[in-house]
């Protein structure tokens, strides 16, 4: 991944989607800004709005815990993590999270980019996870 030009997104400066339960996902880098190399989102996930176990077939996922605690499950292994924890998840590995407490905030980067538009769809779009290579066991 080569950064071709600077991308600076201020706090609350990226396009944001807010779920009915209060979770929010803000695009920090859209893949069009990186030549498609990567995309990044800041995700504040509320308890009860976590994703189900899933697998990416097209991208690797890098996740950094900014605040809060959660139980990260990768394959058959679960571990409780908090601020400062990092995970590098290659495509093809099933994973999910469960928030411990009320909410957690994560910085997630997808390589190559594009998945950020599943998480924060363009206005009027309702993307299908399967179209983004996401499968659920």
Q: Which of the four pLDDT bands, split at 50, 70 and 90, describes residue 137?
A: confident
Mean of pLDDT values over 52-60: 97
Please tell me the distance from the alpha carbon of residue 76 to that of residue 100, in angstroms, as a whole number.
19
pLDDT at 2: 66
Q: Answer whether residue 4 shows pLDDT above 80.
A: no
pLDDT, tens only, 60-95: 999 999 999 999 999 999 999 999 999 999 999 999
Percent of the chain with pLDDT over 70: 99
Mean of pLDDT values over 3-12: 88
- What is the pTM for the complete model shown? 0.93
Do the Cβ atoms of 27 and 120 come closer than 8 Å? yes
Task: Give first-to-last CA distance, the chain, whole Å.
Answer: 30
Residues 6+ apart with CB under 8 A from 109: 29, 38, 39, 40, 61, 62, 63
pLDDT, tens only, 94-118: 999 999 999 999 999 999 999 999 9
pLDDT at 8: 93
Q: Show the domains of the chain with their CATH numbers.
A: 16-121 (2.60.120.10)
Average pLDDT, the chain: 95
């Amino acid at each position: 991944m080569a950064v071709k030009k600077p991308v600076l997104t201020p706090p609350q400066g990226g396009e944001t989607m807010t779920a009915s339960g209060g979770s929010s996902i803000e695009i920090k880098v859209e893949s069009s800004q990186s030549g498609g190399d990567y995309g990044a989102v800041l995700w504040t996930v509320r308890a009860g709005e976590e994703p189900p176990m899933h697998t990416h077939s097209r991208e690797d996922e890098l996740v950094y815990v900014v605040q809060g605690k959660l139980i990260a499950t990768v394959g058959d292994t679960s571990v409780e993590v908090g601020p400062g924890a990092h995970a590098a998840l290659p495509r093809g590995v099933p994973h999910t999270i469960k928030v411990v407490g009320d909410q957690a905030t994560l910085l997630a980067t997808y390589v190559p980019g594009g998945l950020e538009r599943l998480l924060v769809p363009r206005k009027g779009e309702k993307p299908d996870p399967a179209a983004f290579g996401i499968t659920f066991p």
